[in-house]
Copies of this chain bind each other. A is one copy, B any other.
Amino acid sequence: MKLALIGAGRIGKVHAQAIHSHPDVTLAAIADFHHSAAEALAIQYASYATTVDNIFADDTIDAVLIASSTPTHAEYLERAARAGKAILCEKPIALDLARTRDALQVLSEHPVTCALGFNRRHDPQFAALKHAIVQGRLGVLETLTIISRDPSPPPAEYVANSGGLFRDMMIHDLDMARWLLNEPIESVFAAGSCLIDPAIGEAGDVDTAMVTLATASGKLCQISNSRRASYGYDQRIEAFGSQGMLQAQNESDTRLRFTGEAGQVEEKPKCFFLERYADAYRLEISDFVNAWQTKCPPLAGAQDGLEALRLADAAERSLQEGRKILLDTTL
């Protein structure tokens, strides 16, 4: 696969490395709003820096990885679809439903392989959890508890343009809930507080939130988010069913344990998503290439982005209105 990377920022660099290590992908071109950033990355990976327009015009390019700033995702996705290129798009497609639906419409008219960057689905531990559920290890899945905490809150200016905690942060957990519950979610209830940084509250957002989801068959899911954890990146899921419980636990750099006067001490969890999901980013590329080669759907697609956003919107509305929001599951 000849792949072009759009976006050479933090997440673009992560993808560039993952692309480089994949034997079947050539990093054919890199574009960035800051051309010098594209150039620097191109030198590092023996690629070449160009413009977005050139990428879409280049018929030798099979695929694009959209890792530019959020407001550009939907447009690039549509242009890529129209150009007949396979797409791996960082989440979200857009921060509002209408724009997201427009992009999906274009995709339906120009069907190309389109994967969405819900990186956690590719995490080996969460994938093993999913696999075990599908294999029936739990009997019937009944409840989920998802705990997800960032190491430290983003700056208030970031918060202002992020779409809020539910669309920016919890959307990953909402996607995990959808993926693991594997049936339509019927209701959403959200509680939230600003406990960490008053500036986040002033920006109209919360930094601490808990959400309850219920499916039509009565499966329940709790999500707990915090924008700050003194001990690092906290990413855990507990799935409970008629025959047992599965727990995806935090990972740390090593398993070294010290026992002394203060007790038995193991390392804290990995510090943030780049460290915790390093393998996931590599596997995401593999899944994308495989989907493109086999014409099978990727592990997460554009529709999953839409659905997660619907849940995030509902959670936001639940918090604003102080009530449970019912979702239309006939869509």
Whether A258 touches B246, Cβ cut-off 8 Å, given contacts A147-B145, A222-B224, is yes
- In the complex, A125 has a CB within 8 A of chain B: yes
| Chain B residues near A195 (CB-CB < 8 A) | 140, 142, 218-219
Query: Is B255 in contact with A251, judged by CB distance below 8 angstroms?
Result: yes
Complex Cα spacing A267 to B328, Å:
40
Residues A194-252 near B (CB distance < 8 A): 194-196, 208-210, 212, 214, 218-220, 222, 224, 226, 228-231, 234, 238, 240, 242-252
Whether A218 touches B208, Cβ cut-off 8 Å, given contacts A224-B143, A256-B248, is yes
- In the complex, A262 has a CB within 8 A of chain B: yes
Q: Taking CB as reference atom, which chain B residue is nearest A255?
A: B249
| Chain B residues near A255 (CB-CB < 8 A) | 125, 248-251
- In the complex, A268 has a CB within 8 A of chain B: yes
- In the complex, A257 has a CB within 8 A of chain B: yes
| Chain B residues near A209 (CB-CB < 8 A) | 220
In-complex Cβ contact of A128 among B23, B191, B254 (8 A)? B254
Q: Taking CB as reference atom, which chain B residue is nearest A190?
A: B212
- In the complex, A265 has a CB within 8 A of chain B: yes
Q: How far is the CB of A215 from chain B (nearest CB, A)?
A: 9
- In the complex, A108 has a CB within 8 A of chain B: no
Complex Cα spacing A264 to B251, Å:
11
Whether A259 touches B242, Cβ cut-off 8 Å, given contacts A220-B193, A220-B208, A324-B189, is no
In-complex Cβ contact of A212 among B147, B189, B238, B253 (8 A)? B189
Q: Could you give, for residues 272-300 of chain A, a 1 whenever the CB lies within 8 Å of some chain B CB and a 0 otherwise?
A: 00000000000000000000000000000
Whether A244 touches B258, Cβ cut-off 8 Å, given contacts A143-B210, A191-B189, A265-B265, is yes
Query: Is A191 in contact with B208, judged by CB distance below 8 angstroms?
Result: no
Which range holds the interface residue count of chain A?
35 or more
- In the complex, A263 has a CB within 8 A of chain B: yes
In-complex Cβ contact of A218 among B194, B252, B267 (8 A)? B194
Complex Cα spacing A259 to B251, Å:
13
Whether A245 touches B260, Cβ cut-off 8 Å, given contacts A208-B220, A323-B323, A324-B324, is yes
Complex Cα spacing A259 to B139, Å:
12
- In the complex, A109 has a CB within 8 A of chain B: no
- In the complex, A53 has a CB within 8 A of chain B: no
| Chain B residues near A193 (CB-CB < 8 A) | 142, 214, 218-220
Whether A247 touches B257, Cβ cut-off 8 Å, given contacts A208-B218, A210-B222, A224-B145, is yes
Query: Is B323 in contact with A231, judged by CB distance below 8 angstroms?
Result: no
| Chain B residues near A250 (CB-CB < 8 A) | 255
Most chain B beta-carbon neighbours within 10 Å: one of A209, A244, A248, A259? A259
Closest 5 CB pairs of A and B: A193-B218, A244-B260, A125-B254, A249-B255, A264-B266
